[in-house]
Structure formats: C-alpha cells, structure tokens
Amino acid sequence: MIDNKELAAVSKVIKSKRLSEFVGKFSKNFYGGKNVKKFEKNLQNYFKVKHAITVNSWTSGLICCVGATGVKPGDEAIVTSWTMSATVISLLHWNVIPVFVDIDQNTFNIDPKKIEKKINPRTKLIVVADIFGNPANYKEILKIAKKNKLKVISDAAQAPGIKYNNKFAGTMADIGGISLNYHKHIQTGEGGVVFTNNNELAEKVKMLRNHGENIVSSKNDKFLNNMLGFNFRMNEIEAAIGIEQLKKLKKILKKKQSLSIKLSKNLKNLKGLKIPVTKNFNNHAFYIYPLVLDTNIIKTNRSKILKILRNKFKKKIFIEGYQNIHQLKIFKKKKCYGNTNFPWSLNKSINYSYAHGTLPVAEKLHDKTFIGILMCKYDLNNKDIDKMLNAFKQTWKKISFSEG
C-alpha cells in the first residue's frame, strides 16, 4: 500500500540531498541519519521493544542476529526446514551447522516436541520462523532453550504486528526481527528490522551493520573485539518510506485477516480440504493462506487440481508446496569430515551428514498435499475473494474422491 504519503516523504529526502548519513567511524552518525533514527524510534514504540535496528534486508538482519550471539565455527543451530533459505544460509556465514527439525502438520512451524532430540553439546541456537504469519509455539521453545542454555533467534519476517501471549512476533526471543521486502505486509522495497531487549546484542548488531571493525579501538567496548562488520545500512529514502508504512500496518493486517476469515468460512465445507488451524484470526498475519489436501479423501493429484484452479482464477496466486531447505543441494546427502569444500568445515572433529527423507511431515506437505495462496503478493479485495471461492467450487466439481 504505497500512496502520496510515501511519495511526499521520499521527495522531502531527495530535496534535502542527504540520501544517507551513515559514517563508518564512531560518531553520532555511526548509527545513521535523521530518518533512520526516527524510524527506529517509531518501531521501538510500536513493537514495545527496547531496541529496533534497521538493516538493508532481513537476510542482513539474520546474519547480524547469528553473529551477535557469539557463535563459533562448528557450533550447531536447530532450525526449521520450512522457511525462506536466508533463515538457514545466515548460519553458514558464521560456519554454524544447521540441524533441521520437522514441522507441526497443523501450524507448519517447527515442532517443539522434536527439538530436544537434536540437542547435543555443540548446540548453541534455536532459530524459529513464524511461517506464513503464524507465530510458533514460543512457550515451549523458550522453555527448552532455558533448560539447555540456548539462545533463540526469531525470524518473524512474515508476521509483522502479530502477537503471541500479548507480545509481538520477533520480540519474544533473545533476538529476532521482521522483513520489509517489497512483498511483505509493509515494505521499504528491501529492508529489515532487528529486535532485541538485550543491550549487548543490540550494540553488536549495530557494529555488524556498519563496518564494525573500524571503531572497536575508539569505542573501547571489550565485548566488541574482533567484531568484523558489513555494510548492511538502511538509507534515508527507505527509512522515510518505512515511517509512513508503519502507520498503515494495523489497517493492512486487518484487511488480510478479514479476507482470510471469508476464505475459511467458505472453504471449510469443501470435501478433503483442510483450512488453516488458528486459535484466533487476529493472531495470524496471513502472508500466505495455507491449505492441505487430504489424500485419503481426494484422489485427484495436486498438480491437476492447481491446473484447474489457475485456469479458473487467472492471477498467479497459488503455490504448489513450499520449501524444504534440507533438500537443497548444499545440504542434501552431503557429509562434513573437515572437507575444505564444505562451507563450515573448519574443524576436523565435525562429523555431520544430511540424508533425504529425514523430515516426513515437511516432505509430504511439500511433495503432495500443501497449497498456498499468496495473500501478500496482491492487494486483494472482497470481489477477488468471491471470484477465488467460485474457482474453488468449480474445481471441486471436477476432481475425484474416495468412495468411502
């Protein structure tokens, strides 16, 4: 939802001729310019968090989150396979080994019941993704983390503004954040925000964002020694857009939720189709509206169903399956025995391998039963939803079911 508010904000920045005010040495502008600081302050107030740190992408934000925790090469991080690849690849930047855990078949989030089985002395992190805009089970995850003295990173890229136990997604873990990519609920084109209530983690992220090694000696913070940094800085134009976008978040979420309620009310009676499981529609951002085919009832394969649906509803809004990051070539059937071609193999004592078929819930959903509706990619309205519902009804007339 971009309009004249963003246009006026951008115009003001351009007229100022100060498109970025970051300086790569320790000074007041080490932390950014006027709009960056204002946007961060507004984010802190909105999300009720002590620190909100803008970055040029949420991928950059995740890299900063991992680095700020102080992990070392050969450490392990428990992570879901159903997420955008950056959630996992951010670990590899620090030579941390991702250990994949299967998902809950109802929420599509990491399954807390399966986490503890993967914990060992090398485990240092749990990385959680609030997939499709539905917060993970933080109550159980944080309990496990506390018991095992692990840090938790919350990837709430798809769940901005959503609450779990009265706290915003992305703010409940040690460190986390949201995405401001162009197809998210609010956007700055590209961008992201890191959230934390921990002063030390916040300062490390600010270092990592802005060429951290340049200011270690002058800033004289002992815990920042050897903090190599990047250029992950948000510019003044993006921040100005973000200031206006944040004002619209509640309205945008309310619209997505309202349309999703309408979908659920009308799709729940279609034979063999499982609608999203959620306790409260207000606690789901519906970045994607998730559906699952019951293959015990529906005998037509998913590809044929989607072909009919796409023919009936012309927008490219339906996806077949989601992600199985553990099956990417970089992980699939690879072993680490100190092989220097493997990105994290800095320690010959590491003996780790991945094999196909280890996450049955995620794999079945991806390969056979999951259908997603891209609610954030298009600015849908009630007429669009009516047309989509009609497409579903027409499609269900053409598919076959079991006789039982």
Instruction: Give one DSSP letter per residue of 3-59, joined into a string.
Output: -HHHHHHHHHHHHHT-S----SSSSGGGG--HHHHHHHHHHHHHHT-SEEEEES-HH
Q: What is d(CA 132, CA 158) in angstroms, rounded to the nearest whole number? A: 6
Average pLDDT over residues 12-36: 92
pLDDT at 339: 35
Please provide the average confidence, as pLDDT, over all residues in the chain: 90
Strand partners, 79: 100, 127
Query: How many CB atoms sit inside 10 A of residue 262's CB?
Result: 15
Average pLDDT over residues 41-52: 98
pTM of the model: 0.93
Q: What is d(CA 360, CA 105) in angstroms, rounded to the nearest whole number? A: 10
Q: What is the pLDDT of residues 334-361, one digit of tens each?
A: 554 333 344 444 444 444 444 445 799 9
Helix, coil or strand: residue 125: strand
Q: What is d(CA 325, CA 330) in angstroms, rounded to the nearest whole number? A: 9
Instruction: Give one DSSP letter per residue of 249-307, joined into a string.
Output: HHHHHHHHHHHHHHHHHHHTTSTTEEPP--S-GGG---SEEEEEE-TTTB-S-HHHHHH
pLDDT at 293 over 50: yes
pLDDT at 333 over 80: no
* Pairing verdict, β 123-129 and 76-80: parallel
Q: Which residues contact 258 (CB under 8 A, 6 or more apart)?
A: none
Helix, coil or strand: residue 76: strand
Q: Alpha carbon of 362 to those of 63, 83, 290: distances in Å?
A: 25, 11, 14
Q: What is the pLDDT of residues 190-221, one digit of tens each?
A: 999 999 999 999 999 999 999 886 666 666 56
pLDDT at 27: 82
Delineate the domains of the chain, giving CATH numbers in brackets: 4-248 (3.40.640.10), 250-323+359-396 (3.90.1150.10)
Give the percent of the chain with pLDDT over 70: 90
Query: How many CB atoms sit inside 10 A of residue 342's CB?
Result: 18
Q: What is the pLDDT of residues 239-278, one digit of tens each?
A: 999 999 999 999 999 999 999 999 999 999 999 999 998 8
Q: What is d(CA 105, CA 116) in angstroms, rounded to the nearest whole number? A: 18
